[in-house]
Amino acid sequence: MYFSPLLTLLLTASAWIVAVFVYRLLFHPLRKFPGPWLAAATDCYAGYFNLVKGGQLLSHIEKLHLNYGPVVRVGPNTLHFSEPQAFTDIYTSGTTFKKSEQLYDDIFLTQEACHAFVDPQKARTRRIMLNPLFSRRAILKLRHAVQEKVDRLISRIKDYPHGGPVDLASAFRSLTLEIITEYCFATSYNSLEHPTFRHPLNLAVEQNVKNFWFTNYFTRLMRLSLATPIWIVKLIDPGFLVFLHMRQDLEGRIERYLEDDSALHAVEHETVFHHLILPENKDGSINRDLRPSKKSLLEEAFSLVGAGSDTVGNTCSTGAFFALNNPAICGRLKEELRQAWPDEDSAIDLDVLEQLPYLTAFIKESLRFSHGVVTPLPRVAVSLFLRGTLRFLRIPKLSHLIDGWVLGSKELETYLVPFSKGPRMCLGINLAWCELYLILGTFFRKLDLNLYDTTIDDFKTFKELFVPVWEGKRLRVTVRAGQRV
């Protein structure tokens, strides 16, 4: 019997697919764990919810846990856990589980950045280099750079034509974008000066978030877009142009510093490049052999922009809505700030704000409601079940009242992990806390606002695009007449 080459190829491919499915369903080491058979057979199951349904896998996984229990097989080689103790067992300090190459190599276009290093030693070395810029001491030294941007936002909102409506969601993201670029690079892209806060760079960052799953499944196409000549990008996607311009600006800075690192001495204040281009030994001497490549420097810079501009902005938007939507919360917050900061035109120290119990509780609750990173961050743990290290506890019913934080609930503190935990936790945690105290503290001390066409329905559901993207209308507010200039 004669088979054409094409038919032979099709039969061979079909047989291979069947063999893979049979292995994954009947002989795979994870075969005994419950879950949909299609999820066990192919990654296309997750791809359908991620790409076709547009960031709905996380909500679907929640339903799977209700049906199958605390451990569910959500992919051929992937288990998902719902019990909180599993989070501690997998992510806590002392564990040796590596990050998944499938996520960090396939999705992120910044593999040479600290957050994306799969090798724990590479990540540890880079964090040692970056930690001085994000230490508590460095934050206190550069807090004025944060406060200046916050004050500019307050001024812009007070001066807003006719009192609004102000797109506060965009305003917060413009602010956090300005803060991270000023803090890390001593530069500004003037996103706070845009008339409606919808600066093209802000829109590009938002679009980058929305493209998260597209980037995952079409990584090579996204890499090609970064290498495409600007004149072609201008014809195909003008909105992406501003992103490339920022890339060119950062690349130009890096090239100047690499050619002559003494140029760093002329920079207004300490930046991330001081620590990466002039890395120090333990004795304080410069060790240029530790200097990352130009590619790594650029990807680290882009990583910081992305990580520093979205999550804090989202937390501020979420917290501001729930406070403005609840007069009791808003009133108590304003009263505490008024007592601690009687003259709003004077400066206030960060440590004063950090000592305010209700403001602190409000920020923690804002972090809890805004969720931070929501896409599961997989770890490679081949021998996890053989060693029996996972233990399971009942998930406590968390309080929705801010007073739970004020009272110092240990249960709440245990399960608040917006910056992850362990050796790969968020590098910028100190900067993020500084921003949240200064932004929300100043915001509720100096502004009186009303919600505009925004309700609780706008904050009920979100799409899982690595970070949560609320599916409702954007947060908008109006400025009370007495505050307009």
Alpha helical stretches, state H, 260-401: 272-277, 294-324, 327-340, 350-354, 357-370, 384-387
202 DSSP 8-state letter: H
Question: What kind and span of H or E run contains 71?
Answer: strand 71-75
Residue 333 corresponds to which tokens in the numbers above?
């917050």
Where residue 190 falls (left for φ over 0; alpha for ψ -120 to 50; beta otherwise) is: left
Please say whether the beta carbons of 179 and 435 come within 8 A. yes
Tell me: is residue 426 an annotated ligand-binding position: yes
Provide the β-strand partners of residue 81. Answer: 71
Q: What is the number of helices (H) and of strands (E) in the chain?
A: 23, 9
Structure tokens at 187: 């530069």
CA separation, residue 304 to residues 56, 176, 382, 422 (Å): 26, 11, 31, 19
CB 265 within 8 A of CB 284: no
Burial 240-266 (b: 16+ CB within 10 A, else e): bbbbbebeeebbebbeebeeebeebee
Which backbone phi and psi does 237 adopt, to 5 degrees?
Answer: -145, 85
In contact, 363 and 370? CB cutoff 8 Å = no
Contact at 8 Å (CB) between 50 and 60? Answer: no
Q: Which of 484, 479, 477 is nearest to 453 (CA)?
A: 477
List residues bridging with 72 in a β-sheet. Answer: 80
Reading the block at residue 240, the tokens are 């992406």
- Cis ω before 36 (30° cut-off from 0): no
DSSP state of 52: I
| Rounded distance between C-alpha atoms, residue 140 and residue 382, angstroms | 42
State the alpha helices, DSSP H only, in 25-135: 37-41, 44-47, 57-68, 84-91, 101-104, 120-130
H-helix or E-strand spanning residue 180: helix 168-185
Q: Which residues are annotated as a binding site for heme?
A: 426
